[in-house]
């Protein structure tokens, strides 16, 4: 990796819009055709108002995988996260950053640990909040109606 030096950190930051599920997907009715049991409704919000920005840092000096969320450090040692991380690492390519002297071979990714730093912004205008409230009320009414009728 980086010319024998093990105290480097490689960081990448990305941003994604927030998606709020109003009616949740409950699984598959047909595994072969991948058909859902029920339909779902979700709203993807404009990143100007609500988004998640995440910085991922990797380094051979990190002792374990972890996340810092709302100022608290969270271990990411559970099996589900580790399985996902290993799948991502298998797809990672070699990295050569000449300016920083960082060289990561494809086969070295599984030796690195990650630090995740997510930040969620919340700047919804009043009309968006009202729309979400109306959607939630409609879902509640639908659920009540279905439980009475069926």
pLDDT over 60 at 139, yes or no: yes
Tell me if residue 128 falls in helix, strand or coil: helix
Query: Domains (ranges, CATH) in the chain?
Result: 10-123 (3.30.230.10)
DSSP state of 92: P
pTM for this predicted structure? 0.63
Mean pLDDT for the stretch of residues 83-104: 89
- At residue 144 the predicted structure's pLDDT band, cuts being 50, 70 and 90, is low
For residues 117 and 15, give the distance between their C-alpha atoms in angstroms, rounded to a whole number.
12
pLDDT of residue 150: 45
In the chain, what percentage of residues exceed pLDDT 70? 81
More confident position, 134 or 147 = 134
pLDDT over 70 at 127, yes or no: no
* Residue in 54, 72, 42, 58 with CA at minimum distance from that of residue 120: 54
């Amino acid at each position: 990796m980086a010319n024998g030096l093990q105290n480097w950190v490689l960081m990448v930051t990305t941003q994604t819009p927030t998606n709020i599920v109003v009616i949740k997907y409950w699984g598959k009715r047909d595994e072969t055709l991948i058909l859902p049991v029920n339909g779902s409704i979700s709203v993807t919000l404009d990143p100007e108002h609500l988004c998640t920005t995440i910085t991922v840092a990797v380094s051979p000096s990190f002792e374990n995988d972890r996340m810092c969320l709302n100022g608290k450090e969270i271990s990411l040692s559970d099996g589900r996260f580790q399985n996902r991380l290993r799948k991502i690492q298998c797809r990672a390519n070699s990295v050569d950053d000449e300016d920083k002297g960082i060289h990561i071979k494809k086969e070295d990714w599984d030796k690195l640990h990650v630090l995740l730093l997510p930040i969620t912004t919340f700047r919804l205008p009043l009309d968006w909040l009202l729309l979400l409230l109306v959607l939630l009320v409609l879902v509640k009414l639908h659920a009540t109606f279905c439980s009475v009728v069926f």
